[in-house]
Amino acid sequence: MKRALILWLPLAGFVAFLGFVAHGLYAPADRSITSRMVGKPVPAFDLPEGAPGRGRFDSRALATGKPRLLNVFASWCVPCVAEAPVLMELKRRGVEIDAIAIRDRPQDVAGFLARHGDPYRHIGSDTVSRVQLAMGSSGVPETFVVDGRGIIRHQHIGDIRAENIPDILARLDEAAR
């Protein structure tokens, strides 16, 4: 009897492994990422201009009483090119958008804006990703919904696509309350 159990043990282990794999395939885990910065103030920063003629951009400019988007982008970022027309559409709908250019040169950012449109009110230059990392951002593009008091209410990882516009507008409405 004991010997029969030992003989069936590898098959039982294999069946358990298949069950584990099947569960992972048919009921994948929630892979959404919730930023640890949501609900916290935007970290204090004071950045040099990210494009010629823009002036400095600091975190105090985000606490204006009106919710806005803070987009983290770069001129060398391919998804940022795809996102540019969507940001222009959001601007057309009255959304105020500020930006932080990551590891970029102001003249390259100016070229990017000339080619793909300029939805931004302010652009700061974060050449060493210090502010980006303090905000819990690890890539470009990423966008934060910031309420009128400068509190981060939502983090969108990756490029904003046309199908994301209703969600972004809803997040801005929530941030306005």
Domains and CATH numbers, the chain: 40-176 (3.40.30.10)
Q: Which two tokens stand for residue 168?
A: 């972004």
pLDDT confidence tier of residue 33, bands split at 50, 70 and 90: low
Quick one: how far is CA 151 from the chain centroid?
15
Residue type, 65: G
In the chain, the percentage of residues whose pLDDT exceeds 90 is: 75
> What's the average model confidence in pLDDT over 151-176?
96
Name the average pLDDT for the chain: 92
Average pLDDT over residues 49-59: 95
Residue 132 in tokens = 């980006």
> What is the rounded CA–CA span in Å between residue 142 and residue 48?
20
By the 8 A CB rule, do 104 and 125 touch? yes
Place of tokens 């204006």: 64
Pick the more confident residue, 24 or 18. Answer: 18
Q: Which amino acid is at 82?
A: A
Mean pLDDT of 62-85: 96
pTM of the complete model beyond 0.95: no
Q: What local confidence, expressed as pLDDT, does residue 25 receive?
A: 73
Contact 123, 57 (CB under 8 A): yes
